[in-house]
Amino acid sequence: MKFSSRIIIFTISCVVIAVLLVLLGGAFTFRQLAFNQQQHQLRSVVEVLDNQLSVQPDTPEFAQWLPNWLRAHNIQVLEVANRGGVIYTFRELNYTGSSKNLIAYRYPLLAHPEFYVQIWVERPFKRLTYEPEAMLGIGGGLLIVALGLIVVFRWLKQIMYGAELLQTRGNQIIAGRLRDMREGSPKEWPNAASKALELLIDELIEARQERSRFDCIIRNNAFVDELTQLSNRTHFLNQLEAEISDADAHIGAVLLIYLRGMDDVNYQYARSEGDAILQQSADVLKQYTRRNIDVNLARYSGDSFALLMPLSTLDEAEDTAAGVLKLLERISLPEVADADDFFYIGIAGYQYGDDAQLVLEQAEDALRIAQIQRHNGWYVIPRELNSSQTGKGSVRWRTLLQHVLVNDSLHYYQQDVFDEDGRVCYKEMLARITDYQGEVINAGVFLPWAEKSGLLMDFDRHALAFAMKQVKYSRQSISVNLNISTVLKQSVMRELLQWVFSVPYKECQKLVLEFHETQLSQLNDTEMMRLKALNKKGIKLAVERAGQRVVSTQYISELKLEYLKLHPSLVRDIQLRQVNQLAVSSMLASCAGRVKVVALGVERNEEWRVLQRLGVHYAQGFLFSKPEPF
C-alpha cells in the first residue's frame, strides 16, 4: 500500500472513530440522564406516600386519588408492603405491553422503616419516536464531518503525491537504477529532501567513478608498465604460474621478444626516441594479440616483451613469432639502429606441473641462441609436450566438435562454491567432451577451438539449455560460463525471456550467467541494457577471471552483479605476494559490499586464511571440492 494511502486511511480512521466515540458517549450519557430523571420522579412519589402514611397511618384514604396520580407518572404497578405482606397494590389494567419490559425499583420508606415500596415502570425511551426533525441536528453534524473528511482526503492526496514520487524514486535507487533516478520530478515533496537526494546521487556516482579510477591506479602501479600500459613482469609471472598450475590448460608457450639495438638508440639519441620505439612495438604487439583475449602480453624488462600463449603448441608459437616479426620489422628505426639485427624472439614450451622460473630460463636461452644467428629471427627450444588434446589441427578439431554436437555427447560436471562457514552457495557447471580415444577433454581446451571453428554459439546454447533444465531440480543456484556475444544475440535473448516468463520467479533466480571480465568491460550502453533486462527478470549475473587484466571496474556500478570471481593468478600463493594482496584489496573496495567476491582456485589453507583476512568470504577450488558429474 502506498505511503499516502496509509496516511489517509489512518487519518480517516481516527476521525471516524472519534465521531463514533462522541455519538456513543452522548447516547450513553443521555440514557443515563433519562434513567436518573425517572428515578428522581419515583423518589418524589415514594416521599408523598411516606408522608401520607404518617398523616393517616391506619386508613390510607389517599387510595382514592393515588391511582390517577400514579397514571400521571406512568407507573404500571405499585406495591406497598412490610414483613407481613402487601398492604396496598396498584396495577394499571389498561397496560397492553409485556410485563418483561418493565423495570422494577424498590425504595424503603424513611419515616416507616418497616415498610417499603416496589414500583414497576416502562423504560424511559419506550415511547420515544425518532422524528426527522429531531434527527436533523445529528444528521447535519455527520454530514459536516463527511464533507470535512472528503476535503481532507483530497488535500492529503494532493500533498502526498509528491511524497509518493519521492518514495518511488527511492525504491528505484534501492533496486540499482541509480543513474536513471539521478533527477527527480519537480512535484516531489518535501522539496528539500528531493534536492538533497539529487546532490547525494551525484556525489555517489562521482565517488564510484573516482573509486573505479583509483582501483585502476592501484592495479596499474602493481601490475602495469607505465610507459607501454602493458602488464609488467610481476603480473606476467603470476599469469604464467596460474596457467602452469591449471590442469585444464595442459600445454602452452612463452615468447620473449627482445629489442637488441635499444642501448645504441638510447646512447645516441635522447631517451624519448627509445621510448617511442618501445611504444610502437607495444602497439604492434597489442594489435596482433587483440584477436585472442587468452593471450597475455607484458613488458618483460626495459627492452623486451613477453607473450604467454595458453593451449598452444610450439608450431603455433613459431607461426605467431613469424607474424609478430613481420609487423615489428615495419617499424621505422633511427639510422644508428641496424634494422636486420634488432628484433629477436625466444620460444619455450610448458606443460602442467612445470616450474615457471625454469620455463622463463629456457625462453631466455632460446633468445640468446636467436641472437647468435645475427639476423632478425627466432629460436625455439625443442621439447616433446605431453598432451594429446592440443594441436590436433583445425580440421580434426572441427570434425570432433561437430561429432559431439550431432551425437549430443557433451556432458557436464559440477563444482561447488562455498562460503566461509562451509555452506554451498551455488554450483558451477563445467563442460566436458570425449575424443575418439575415450580421453576426457576439458572446456578450457576445446572451447577456444570451438570459437575458431565457428561452433562456440552452439556449445553455449547447449550449456544454457542444460542449465535451464537443471535449475528446476536443484536446491542451489547453478552457474554457466558463456561467451557474452552468444547471450547478446537476439535469438538467444528471445529464448531466455520466453523461459523466464514460463517458469516461476524463484526458479529464474537459480540461474547464474558468468561472463569474462574483459568481455564485460567492453560492452556499450545498449548491450548493458540487455543484460540489465535479464537481471530484472530474476537471472543473476557473475564475472569470472576478474583481475586477469587491468580493466576499469565501472561495470560493477553499471550492473547488479551477484558474484565476482577472482582470477587464480591473484589467489595462488597470495600469502607470499604483497602485490597480489594489494590487488585483491583494491577489487574488494570496488565491490564495496555490493557483490559477493569469490576466490577461484584455492588449494591451500594458507591462501584461504589470507583471503579471509582481506575480506573474501566465498571460495572455490580443490581445497573444498572437486568437479563431479551431474
Query: Domain-by-domain residue ranges, the chain?
Result: 3-122, 226-380, 394-629
- The CA-CA-CA angle for residues 85, 90, 93, to 5°, reads 135
pLDDT, tens only, 525-582: 889 988 988 988 899 999 998 887 777 777 887 888 999 999 888 898 899 888 888 8
Residue where the block lists cell 537471472: 539
d(CA 300, CA 292) in angstroms, rounded, equals: 20
pLDDT of residue 63: 63
> Which phi and psi (to 5°) does residue 98 adopt?
-85, 140
- What is each CA distance from 449 to 48, 385, 404, 609, in whole angstroms? 122, 19, 13, 37
Task: Return the sign of the alpha-carbon dihedral for residues 526, 528, 533, 536.
Answer: negative
Task: Return the sign of the alpha-carbon dihedral for residues 204, 210, 213, 218.
Answer: negative
pLDDT, tens only, 423-466: 999 999 999 999 888 888 888 888 888 888 889 999 999 999 99
d(CA 565, CA 544) in angstroms, rounded, equals: 5
pLDDT of residue 255: 95
Task: Provide the pairing of β-strand 102-108 with 596-600.
Answer: unpaired
- What is each CA distance from 233 to 218, 239, 273, 317, 352, in whole angstroms? 16, 10, 23, 20, 21
Q: Which residues contact 549 (CB under 8 A, 6 or more apart)?
A: 231, 517, 518
d(CA 245, CA 475) in angstroms, rounded, equals: 32
H or E segment to which residue 544 belongs: strand 540-546
Q: Reduced to 3 states, what is the DSSP secondary structure of residue 8?
A: helix
pLDDT of residue 168: 81
Residue where the block lists cell 616450474: 355
Cell of 72: 400521571
Q: Which residues of the chain fall below pLDDT 50? A: none
Q: Which residues contact 449 (CB under 8 A, 6 or more apart)?
A: 392, 394, 397, 398, 401
Q: Which residues contact 15 (CB under 8 A, 6 or more apart)?
A: 145, 148, 149, 152
Q: What is the pTM of this model?
A: 0.64
The CA-to-CA distance between both ends of the chain, in Å, stands at 45
pLDDT of residue 227: 87
d(CA 9, CA 4) in angstroms, rounded, equals: 9
pLDDT of residue 160: 78
Q: Which fold does the domain 394-629 belong to in CATH?
A: TIM Barrel (3.20.20)
> What is the average pLDDT score of the chain?
85
pLDDT of residue 56: 60
Q: Reduced to 3 states, what is the DSSP secondary structure of residue 305?
A: strand
CATH code of the domain occupying 226-380:
3.30.70.270
**DSSP per position, 247-290:** TTT-EEEEEEEEETTHHHHHHHS-HHHHHHHHHHHHHHHHHHHT
